[in-house]
Structure 1
Amino acid sequence: MAVPGGTGRAPDPPHADPRGDPFLRTRFAVPARPVTYLRRDRLLVHLDEALLTPLTVVHGAAGAGKTLLAADWVSTRHEPVAWLTAQVADRGGGTFWAYLLEALRLAGVTMSADVGLPASAGRADDRLLTRLAAELSTRNTPVILAIDEYDRVTDPEIADQLEFVLHQAGHGMRLVLVTRTEPLLPLHRYRAAGTITEIRNAELALTPDEAAALLALHGLRLPADDVGALVERTRGWAAGLRLCALAAREETDPRTFLKEFEADRTTIADFLLAEVLKRQPAGTQDLLLRVSVLERFCPGLADALTGRTDAEGVLTALHRQNAFVEYLGHAWFRLHPLFGEILRAHLRVRSPELEGELHRRAARWLRRSGSLGEAIGHAAAADDWGSAAGALVGDLALGELFTGLHCEDLARLFSRMGPEPTGPATDLVRAACALSRCEVARGSSRLRRAVQALPARDGSAQGDPADLAATRLSCALLETLVARLTGAPGRAERAARLAEQVRREVPGTLLEAHPELMALLLTHLGSARLWAGRVRAARAALTTVVDAGGPAATAQARRECLGHLALIDYLQGWPGRAERTALATVAPVDPSGPPPAPGPGLASLVLAAVAVERDELDRAEALLGVAVDARHPSPDPVTQAGRAIVTGRIALARGDTRAALEAVDRTVVADVASPWAAAHTASVAAAAHLAENRPETAVGLLHDVPRDEPVRLLGAAQAELAAGRPEAAAELLGRLRSQAGIGPAVTVRAALLRARLAGERGDHAAQRGLVSRALREARRERLWRPFVDAGPWLPALPLDAPAGGRLPTGPPRRAASARGGQRAAPPVVEELSGRERDVVRGLAQMMSTEEIAADLYVSVNTVKTHLKSAYRKLAVNRRHDAVRRARELGLL
């Protein structure tokens, strides 16, 4: 077709393209929107920016809703919009430009005859493009041209020509490209200049609210959680949600269908296979099918699965094409969830024997690259449990079954492992899984098999020396755990010595990567030593773990160690120190408020024991309830004994002697007896018998327990005194005085017993002095229970206020301290002065320090001095507690 020349009247528009074929009118028609189409105002508002920038690109995956979005936007415009749907046949530049000129003509854009028409289907003349751009640049109102399916235009020459016209047309043209891929235009220049409007795949995804509205248009109304789960699975993909809705409408239970549908059995599979997979070259299809077995992948991993070396370019291209390959950053990708499901199903049909081999290749590559968790998962998916267990043990990661972020996932994964294969690694994993469930007999049996299967350490063993060393160190870990659970400190010491020898053979990188193994081993060793009464050695092992700090993987071990250290402090009579150590296992949510209680375990038990010492019985019972949560069994002897002791002491404080005896009568099964556990349980039982007026029984109970335990000496002295043998009581208290390191929970009770002995001798001055000393010690630790338990002689004791303050009146609160009874006020070592009372009254009136100073005509520093003294006498640290304590004492 010749290009018209001259300056006369424009010729009639042609009705055929340069080949002589008639124009296909459907290519100029704006697509119709279905009745269930969901208008999304947020995207329309964004598209309105197309009027402000020369170039707008709407690019997203197949079925992302980009064409209907553009069509909906066009329907909202008052000015005419030229619409063109591109085709693969437009590879010839002449045909493309003929269709583009026809789209402009149909939209009402008039052009002079000078513009001309393409002379051939193969190319467009440069003169035509120049005249077209020049004519568009003179327009007062820009022409809006929307080209749909622009990804079909693959000829770089057409892209260059279109960019030339767009650039030279200036304000006279606004180009909107709807495409699956980034167009072959210099987008970087438009982005740098801020002259492009882009709506990408992520923005096209439906939000949960939009998805709910779309489902409602299909007659489906679901709870928000169900909609959220569906959006997560489809990633908000418009076509996927629409196809799901259409399929669900045909089901009797749409809600269940949308929760459980199998993507490969729906029309979604037909769509994705036809529109995405089969549009790719054969090599790319093979790569997509192979990586479908992976949750995420990088080029190196993809190459390992395909045996090729070009994955990097292929994956990058797929991502740019919006071919349902998502970029995660740092060279890692993943498939869209539905696309991945469908590809896996397609792989199983097409090559059923290949999936297992792909998982094995992935497992090998991932373990070499340091992604142990994923490597184990793929080995398990291939049913290669020997490799899975070997990776876990060989990489020194067996401790992850007990602590860290993945312990539950690992336990769930290895629970699928059958009785085969067998070997040191698989038996160790089975033993660890059993021990993590507190199945000590089963775990010990598996551990024994693993140890017996290990080769001798004579240098003749075959295999990787590092793997063998890691296996032996893992055995030592489980040996210390079994020793802890069975109360066998000798076994724990032997395992610890072996671990110290073997760890020198383990690569330092493994030890650094998995610090939880040694942290757990030392935790178990410290617990076993504590059970044996080797307190100093136990503290050394436990403190090593706590002081080392470390990542989240060792957090559980550090918490357990702190719980044990808190128990040591409590057993040695330091309740305040024990409380601080126990509370260190948790971080306060609100720094201005009280710290939260720890969860199940020793820390909560210790806090409950401290609460008993402070006569806070309701709090003690609440903490005990947390500590013995049935969902978190702790069958090690230390915890069992601690639970029995605290339960018994609470029952004693409540006046329930039968419950106290039942609590400490439960047998703790252990290979060796614990001196402190025997002494404390006997002490509780003896106190119960004393409350029932059976002193000789109490004496007999305490006779057979370790004789130098402080709690045994105290209990025996009290029983001897109750039996009428004050000399024997005094001798026991003398032995207690010679012991070093015991804290106020012991010394306060001892001072009160000596005071009672002094009173019976008639030495009332010594008696008052001893009680005053006990009060001073008790105030620092807020101890009150020793005074409640002392007996009826103590409240009747006359004390001078300056010397010793005052004591509560009334009988011991065995009956009165029943659940719901009033709590007696704590002792005050010294009476508050008049000025101190005035300051505390100001606190009660919610006055600030400055307001109290002005009211009393004193300086702020003077008020602070009075406050400090009042806090000390009331044994508090905060304003609110001071007011509460003063009210309890009747000072307000």
Structure 2
Amino acid sequence: MAHRHRHRDRSAPEPRVDPRGEPFLGTRFAAPARPLTFLRRARLADRLDQGLGTPLTLVDGPAGAGKTLLVADWAARLDRPVAWLTADPADRAPGLFWAYLLQALRVAGLRPAPGIGSPAHPSSVDRALLARLAADLSGRPEPAIVVVDEFERVPTADIAEQLEFVLHHASAGLRLILVTRSEPLLPLHRHRAAGSITEIRGAELAFTPEEAAALLAAHGLRLSADAAHTLVRRTRGWAAGLRLCALAARQSADPERCLKEFEAGHSVVADYLLAEVLRRQPAGTQDLLLRVSVVERFRPGLADALTGRSDAERILARLRRENAFVEPLGQTWYRLHPLFAEILRAHLRERHPGLETELHRRAARWLSRSGSLTETLAHGCAAGDWEFAARALVDDLAIGRLFTGQGPDDLGTPFARMTAGTDSPARQLVLAARELAGRDLGHGLPRLRHAEELLADDTADHVPDRLGCALLEALAARLTGSPGRAERAAGRARDLSRSVPAERLDRHPELLALLLAHVGSARLWAGHVAEARAALAEAVTRPGGAATALPRQDALGHLALIDWLAGRTAGAERKALAALREADRYGLPAPARSAVAGLVLAAVAVERDELDAAQALLDRVTADGHGTADPVAAAARALAGAHLLLARGDPGAAVAAVEDRGTAVVASPWAADHAALVASAARLAGGDPEAAAKALEPVARRLPACAVAAARARLAAGDTGTALGLLDTLPTPGPGGPALTVRAALVRAEAADRTGDIAAARRLVARALCDARRERLRRPFREAGPWLRPLLATAPAHDWLVAGGGTRDATGLRPAPVVEELSPRERDVLCRLAQLMSTEEIAADLYVSVNTVKTHLKGLYRKLSVGRRADAVRRARELRLL
């Protein structure tokens, strides 16, 4: 009986007017129609479905984020009635708000009982009415779903408190969905603590690149993955921005280019944001937004400095609550939506011509006091205040970052437009650093000398300026091959650093690391190998992460060169690969990478008779834009190229490659010695052993490699005694690494073969094979000549002498093929094995577990018929799998 009574009551006539006596506006109870190009996003619809399990769902995002269409589409697809109410500014009056909410329930067929009543006055609502409504809702068999769209239009504490009262007492009988641009005044913290709220915020509402591509496809636009990522990055996935861009692109002859290059300040997107966001704000807020658009991020204090007022903290807090495209970054920092910032900057230039420069100047000075050097320099340079920016850089001891900074920390980019201007030491130092960073000695050295002259005339103690001069002088000395100047510069730098507070030096670890790398390179050029190794090894161990990545990889490349020169090919390869990994880890661009590391790898490939690989490495060094103004790199390039030409049978070109071109002020002993080695090898290859020996006479006793080469030349000339005498002068236990000991053993073996001591020759060849196998050294055996073939025919296990792309070895043997194909992941693991990475490093690099890597290793070993890592790499190289 009670049930029938309730049903009869719910069929009573609906009220036709609101408390003011005006008709209810039917459009406020209708969800908006979805456009034909609407994209349904399942992940967000699922979140709304989940929201049916909580009393309150909050869909909170900026204007144009797609909130309303999302909820409207979801509601239309439910098999249950949904009461829809679009809020209006008039709803600030509680009586009107509740009258419209009750009418929304009736329109949706969710009629409240007649006894609940309706507000009698626009400005108030009876508490008893709300209690009756909550009780009515709580008694329903299934909850009533109510959507209030544009809830930010009724931001009153009274209505929020009343909604919370009904929501709480309706219990499970109400599912309230608030669609809003700003956070409502409801006690959200309580709902979050109780788990009674589902929230969909701006970050979730943003389109992904895949969703953006699908949306544009619905507009008839096909976009590449790259273009979709670019557009989403620029719009930050903002729904209205994507739709407006799509509409504009449809009118263009080249839609993809239009989407990539559209001018934000003069577009339908600008019109939308200016109308929907900027012009809705009070005049003071509009002024603040225009002014902060010149900075990437801002705090209230910075915003006050830009506006000349003191109300930024309050305004920014409100804008954040209202989702007015002001995004919090934490620790009181904010940023504007990037597209909104672009539009505001364009609007600023039109409304206040010339003000942008002054704002950059104000920002630079405020940021300099906050300790943000990168941003200080960016704004100082943007203002054209070069003297301020240069002085800030030098005083911070950050001049080394003009060489090491990459990506967002690249301090060289802001100074790209700086000209000579006034004569100040700081400005001249920055100009000199900019030129020397590009290896332009012709312009860099005069700038450096001018800075030194200005400092000499100044009685003030400019320690940062003098320290900057010492760093640049060390680099200039390295580039000109002047080790004495480099040492003096480093000494001055050490003396000056004692008067600098330790915490300031600690902020710039790149300063000492760069000095060590420059001095180490200069020492190597001078032939002071032990001293060079000490400085370079110290540079490698310097802390600092990305700040010292460039000098660390530079030093590793030079240490690799030292190992190669000493015949330690495996050590050279490890250090060169470590240098390249360091560059990859920190994203150093090609021109900043150590050219020497790539050249050493090419030279190692020649020693292994992998000539195509060596040529590819040399070509890559050239293609990557590695300069050869550095004399060590130039000499390494010449030597690696010459050895490859010798291996390819072009001795004339090899000699030409190492001819002195006078690129350095001081000649390098080691470069001269190795050029003599190339010349000797070329003469020997041409059948003139006397000329080969003569080429080495001045240097034969300076380097073990020269002594070995001279012994080979003398033996070829028939002078066995002199040849063995030269070898007897070599230090014990050996003259250097395997590349030298193997060649020395083969010269002795050939001498024994000539004297008829076949047993000794076989023993020496076996020793050479054993030493060479560990590092896959094939070139010494290729160079040895036909006498070796009979001895190799009886030597055990030397099929590894066949290079990946080479010819058959002396016995005509080739390695057996792989029986089973390697999987793509096994190939990934194999490549990292070749880089001498540990199991843990491979797992981290491939984003898999250590156990997964071990499983792949077992598969590798089985398919390659080996039992160890080194054998797997060797076998893979023989089979051209690497």
TM-score, normalised with respect to structure 1 = 0.83
The residue correspondences of 1:82-93 to structure 2 (distance < 5 A) are 82-93=83-94
Amino acid at match of 1:219: G
Alpha-carbon offset, residue 668 of structure 1: 4.6
Alpha-carbon offset, residue 391 of structure 1: 2.6
How many residues align? The count is 822
Alpha-carbon offset, residue 542 of structure 1: 0.8
Alpha-carbon offset, residue 381 of structure 1: 1.3
Amino acid at match of 2:262: F
Amino acid at match of 2:708: L
Decide whether the 8 Å contact of 1:876 with 1:882 is kept in 2.
no
Of stretches 260-269 and 482-491 in structure 1, the one that deviates more from structure 2 is: 260-269
Change (3 A) 1:494 1:76: same
* 1:248 paired to 2:241: no
* 1:33 paired to 2:42: no
Q: Structure 2 residue aligned with 1:672, among 658, 666, 677?
A: 666
Question: Which residue does the alignment assign to 1:822?
Answer: 808
Decide whether the 8 Å contact of 1:50 with 1:197 is kept in 2.
yes
* 1:98 paired to 2:99: yes
Q: Encode CA deviations 1:176-221: one digit per residue, 9 max, x unaligned.
A: 2222111121122222222223322222223334433433443333
Task: Classify the secondary structure of the residue corresponding to 1:280.
Answer: coil
Change (3 A) 1:818 1:224: closer
The residue correspondences of 1:181-330 to structure 2 (distance < 5 A) are 181-330=182-331
Task: Classify the secondary structure of the residue corresponding to 2:327.
Answer: strand
Change (3 A) 1:298 1:823: farther
Q: Structure 2 residue aligned with 1:694, among 670, 688, 696?
A: 688
Question: Which residue does the alignment assign to 1:593?
Answer: none
Alpha-carbon offset, residue 821 of structure 1: 2.9
Alpha-carbon offset, residue 9 of structure 1: 12
Change (3 A) 1:482 1:16: same
Alpha-carbon offset, residue 638 of structure 1: 1.7
Q: Encode CA deviations 1:770-828: one digit per residue, 9 max, x unaligned.
A: 666655654555544334434444555699x8xxx57999xxx9xx999853244699x
Alpha-carbon offset, residue 499 of structure 1: 0.9
Decide whether the 8 Å contact of 1:400 with 1:406 is kept in 2.
no
* 1:128 paired to 2:129: yes
Alpha-carbon offset, residue 246 of structure 1: 2.7
Change (3 A) 1:80 1:876: closer
Question: Which residue does the alignment assign to 2:524?
Answer: 530
Task: Classify the secondary structure of the residue corresponding to 2:189.
Answer: helix
Amino acid at match of 1:33: R
Q: Encode CA deviations 1:362-387: one digit per residue, 9 max, x unaligned.
A: 22233333322222111121112222
Change (3 A) 1:305 1:751: same
Q: Encode CA deviations 1:105-162: one digit per residue, 9 max, x unaligned.
A: 3334444554333232221222222233233333334333322221111221122122
Change (3 A) 1:494 1:127: same
Task: Classify the secondary structure of the residue corresponding to 2:164.
Answer: helix
* 1:437 paired to 2:438: yes
The residue correspondences of 1:14-25 to structure 2 (distance < 5 A) are 14-25=15-26
Of stretches 512-521 and 408-417 in structure 1, the one that deviates more from structure 2 is: 408-417
Question: Which residue does the alignment assign to 1:69?
Answer: 70
Question: Which residue does the alignment assign to 1:576?
Answer: 570
Question: Which residue does the alignment assign to 1:519?
Answer: 513
Change (3 A) 1:617 1:826: farther
Alpha-carbon offset, residue 534 of structure 1: 0.9
Question: Which residue does the alignment assign to 1:335?
Answer: 336
Task: Classify the secondary structure of the residue corresponding to 2:58.
Answer: strand
Change (3 A) 1:756 1:244: closer
Q: Distance in 1 between matches of 2:267 and 2:226?
A: 23
Task: Classify the secondary structure of the residue corresponding to 1:665.
Answer: coil
Amino acid at match of 1:688: A
Alpha-carbon offset, residue 531 of structure 1: 0.9
Amino acid at match of 1:164: F
Structure 2 gaps of 5+ residues are: 1-7, 585-591, 822-860
Change (3 A) 1:235 1:621: closer
Q: Distance in 2 between matches of 1:782 and 1:230?
A: 50
Q: Encode CA deviations 1:241-277: one digit per residue, 9 max, x unaligned.
A: 2222333333343333222222221232232222212
Question: Which residue does the alignment assign to 1:473?
Answer: 467
Change (3 A) 1:654 1:38: closer
Q: Distance in 2 between matches of 1:763 and 1:225?
A: 70
Question: Which residue does the alignment assign to 1:170?
Answer: 171
Question: Which residue does the alignment assign to 1:594?
Answer: none
Of stretches 177-186 and 392-401 in structure 1, the one that deviates more from structure 2 is: 392-401
Alpha-carbon offset, residue 489 of structure 1: 0.9
* 1:655 paired to 2:646: no
Change (3 A) 1:822 1:740: closer
Change (3 A) 1:488 1:55: same
Decide whether the 8 Å contact of 1:780 with 1:875 is kept in 2.
no
Alpha-carbon offset, residue 407 of structure 1: 8.6
Q: Structure 1 residue aligned with 2:536, among 542, 548, 561?
A: 542
Amino acid at match of 2:300: P
Amino acid at match of 1:340: A
Amino acid at match of 1:285: Q
Change (3 A) 1:728 1:148: closer
The residue correspondences of 1:639-650 to structure 2 (distance < 5 A) are 639-650=633-644
Q: Encode CA deviations 1:834-891: one digit per residue, 9 max, x unaligned.
A: xxxxxx99x9999xxxxxxxxxxxxxxxxxxxx9xxx99x9994268579989xxxxx
Task: Classify the secondary structure of the residue corresponding to 1:670.
Answer: coil
Alpha-carbon offset, residue 725 of structure 1: 4.9
Task: Classify the secondary structure of the residue corresponding to 1:444.
Answer: helix
Q: Distance in 2 between matches of 1:875 and 1:101?
A: 78
Amino acid at match of 2:556: L
Q: Structure 1 residue aligned with 2:678, among 674, 684, 688?
A: 684
Question: Which residue does the alignment assign to 1:413?
Answer: 414
Amino acid at match of 2:560: A
Question: Which residue does the alignment assign to 2:352?
Answer: 351
Alpha-carbon offset, residue 498 of structure 1: 0.9
Decide whether the 8 Å contact of 2:517 with 2:555 is kept in 1.
yes
Q: Distance in 2 between matches of 1:211 and 1:57?
A: 24
Alpha-carbon offset, residue 533 of structure 1: 0.8
Q: Distance in 1 between matches of 2:219 and 2:763?
A: 87
Task: Classify the secondary structure of the residue corresponding to 1:326.
Answer: strand
Q: Distance in 1 between matches of 2:53 and 2:708?
A: 89
Q: Distance in 2 between matches of 1:774 and 1:589?
A: 36
Q: Encode CA deviations 1:33-89: one digit per residue, 9 max, x unaligned.
A: 344444444433433345433222222212222223333333334444333222222
Change (3 A) 1:666 1:319: same
Q: Distance in 2 between matches of 1:407 and 1:23?
A: 56
* 1:510 paired to 2:504: yes
Alpha-carbon offset, residue 309 of structure 1: 4.3
Q: Distance in 2 between matches of 1:133 and 1:876?
A: 73
The residue correspondences of 1:853-864 to structure 2 (distance < 5 A) are none
Q: Distance in 2 between matches of 1:600 and 1:312?
A: 48
Q: Distance in 2 between matches of 1:370 and 1:790?
A: 65
Task: Classify the secondary structure of the residue corresponding to 2:170.
Answer: helix
Question: Which residue does the alignment assign to 2:618?
Answer: 624
Decide whether the 8 Å contact of 1:675 with 1:706 is kept in 2.
no
Alpha-carbon offset, residue 526 of structure 1: 0.7
Q: Encode CA deviations 1:652-692: one digit per residue, 9 max, x unaligned.
A: 23332222222222525221222221111112112211232
Q: Distance in 1 between matches of 2:704 and 2:521?
A: 21
Q: Distance in 2 between matches of 1:769 and 1:549?
A: 48
Question: Which residue does the alignment assign to 2:426?
Answer: 425
Q: Structure 2 residue aligned with 1:878, among 865, 871, 879?
A: 871
Q: Distance in 1 between matches of 2:196 and 2:154?
A: 22
TM-score, normalised with respect to structure 2 = 0.84
